Amino acid sequence: MRPVVLCFSGLDPSGGAGLQADIEAVGQAGAHAAIACTAVTIQSSQQVFGFEACAASLVKDQAIAVLDDLPVQVIKSGMLGTTDNIAMLTRLFAEHRIAADTPFVLDPVLVANSGGSLGDEQTLVTAFRELIAYSTLITPNTHELRALSGEEDLHIGAQKLCAQGAHAVLVKTSHDFESGDIKQYLYVKGEMVHQSTLPRLNGEFHGSGCSLASFIAGRLAMGDTLIDAVTSADNWITQTLRAADVPHPNDSKAQLIPNRFIRS
Ligand code: PLP
């Protein structure tokens, strides 16, 4: 069967972010997505109204059912919602329920692009510290990078996360609202190994971070190196954003939904 990516993520009823983004992005990368649902959110493409997190035991049982059944090559996590869920995933690694050499893409979701809360930021940040040690790649947005590292400078922040045990950190300046292109830096073991410039597209996108991280996870499952997976995900995400659906054509501030059904 196609290589499997087990994604821990929340349901976003608008279909822009969360587990739907994961399923579509992993599928477009050529792999198969399995999902352990961590939370059900109440949200539109424009804002978060609330969420109910799944109990850690429920999330764990979903994950074990998949791990016992399918050839899971890569783990990806997005919204975990509670410190219990973060601790549960940490334990799956610590207790070798997930093999130590399984690549793990950690998207440390704290808030939605709209600004809506997807968990209690301070306690999530603390709980993430232990999970970070198991990650192959962390894909924080600028807000998450600063919150997790306690550093304003993105480069120092990335190096700090590597020092905390992350193998690699992908830094994008997309949420720093300066004009001009978006810069992206890939740090591995504290060293910058790759940098690129991406066009800044007009508009705000709902689910772009989830899509990018999941596409990278899918490409890693397909056997790409980290740099190849990141490069291929950049090309793909740019196309999905250029082709994004526009739910509110008369509102220039409204968020767009990436169209992930394009071929890379
Ligand atoms: N996961 C879920 C379930 C979400 O609802 C969201 C945002 O709304 C995210 C993750 C993060 O989304 P983004 O890719 O826009 O950062």
In a domain, 262, yes or no: no
The number of folded domains in the chain is 1
Q: What is the CATH number for 47?
A: 3.40.1190.20
In a domain, 196, yes or no: yes
Distance of CA 201 to the CA centre of its chain: 20
* Dist CA 79 CA 8 (whole Å): 7
In a domain, 114, yes or no: yes
> Which pLDDT does position 234 carry in this prediction?
95
Q: What is the pLDDT of residues 156-189, one digit of tens each?
A: 999 999 999 999 999 988 767 666 789 999 999 9
In a domain, 159, yes or no: yes
Give 74 Cα–ligand 1 centroid separation in angstroms: 20
**Is there an atom of ligand 1 within 6 Å of 240 CB?**
no
> Which pLDDT does position 10 carry in this prediction?
98
In a domain, 253, yes or no: no
Q: With b meaning 16 or more CB within 10 Å and e meaning fewer, what string describes 119-154?
A: beeeebbebbebbbebbbbbbbbbebbbbbbebeeb
Structure tokens, 68: 């016992």
* Dist CA 105 CA 121 (whole Å): 20
In a domain, 247, yes or no: no
Rounding to the nearest 10 degrees, give the CA dihedral for residues 80, 1, 94, 103.
-80
Q: Domain range spanning residue 212?
A: 4-242
Write out residues in the chain with pLDDT < 50, as ranges. Answer: none
Integer Rg of the chain from CA: 17
What residue owns the CA closest to ligand 1's atom 16? 209
In a domain, 249, yes or no: no
Q: What is the pLDDT of residues 76-100, one digit of tens each?
A: 999 999 999 999 999 999 999 999 8
Question: Which atom of ligand 1 lies nearest, measured to the CA of 209?
Answer: 14
CB 124 within 8 A of CB 201: no
> Which pLDDT does position 264 carry in this prediction?
58
Q: Beta strand 168-172 with 182-188: parallel, antiparallel or unpaired? A: antiparallel
What residue owns the CA closest to ligand 1's atom 12? 207
Work out the burial of residue 203: count CB atoms within 10 Å of its CB; fewer than 13 is exposed, 13-18 middle, 19 or more buried: middle
Question: Which atom of ligand 1 lies nearest, measured to the CA of 38?
Answer: 3
Give 133 Cα–ligand 1 centroid separation in angstroms: 23
Helix residue spans in 136-207 (DSSP H): 142-149, 154-163
